[in-house]
Amino acid sequence: MSTRRSLPSSTPPPSASWTRPTTRTTSTCGCTPTTSPGPRATSGAPSSGSDLRPHPSPPLRGPTMPAVAITSFGYLHGPQPDARACYDLRHQFRDPHLRPELRYLTARDAPVREAVMATDGVLALVHAIAATVDAYLAGPRQDEPLTVALGCAGGRHRSATVADALAAVLSGDTETAAAYLVAVLAERYKERGLAVDLHHRDLDKDVVDR
């Protein structure tokens, strides 16, 4: 016949949580003694702060998905498209529409392109947007294209020209970029191989009288 022995009362049961008694430290200088807790051993799941499980990485763009999608548009033809970054060129930059010889031309015509790119601030704007694109593409999420929208009044002159210049820069097309005076900037993107999608929403729509 076996005899069941109970554990001494000073020994905690194996399955229970326990806390080592605090240790008293006696001061030799007459100061008030302090107590310091010993190490704790607890049972159960770790706290949320100790959860070191890796989080899943965001999905990456597929090989056929463009890195950047650029859209030019005119506010007179409808609201701005949904985009991560949208630039309104209406108020800060001279409107070629005000020149009768340019009014019925578009960004496809050299006189319009030259007039827009010669406007004070436009070259700096192209550089600034390219830098903004770099900042966005440096972020961790790359599961969809970075959308950039550029708008002017009718969508035929300023926004379309700047969109063309930006697309040439980001795709590293130095030959096309030279026509927009940004070939040096495009050279920096030549080896990156960014896929760029360009869409002119309102370029071929009728001129809006204003």
| pLDDT digit string, tens, across residues 133-178 | 999 999 988 889 999 999 999 999 999 999 999 999 999 999 999 9
- Top pLDDT among 65 and 66 is at 66
At residue 209, the pLDDT reads 87
pTM of the entire predicted model: 0.70
Helix axes of 122-137 and 158-170: crossing angle, nearest 10 degrees: 50
163: burial class by Cβ within 10 Å (0-12, 13-18, 19+)? buried
Q: What is the pLDDT of residues 13-51, one digit of tens each?
A: 444 443 444 434 334 344 444 444 444 444 444 444 444
How far apart CA 203 and CA 199 sit, in angstroms, is 9
DSSP category for residue 139: S
Across 8-22, 23-37, 53-67, 188-202, the highest mean pLDDT is recorded for 188-202
CA angle 34, 49, 36 (to 5 degrees): 10
Reported as a single tens digit per residue, the pLDDT across 2-17 is: 444 444 444 444 444 4
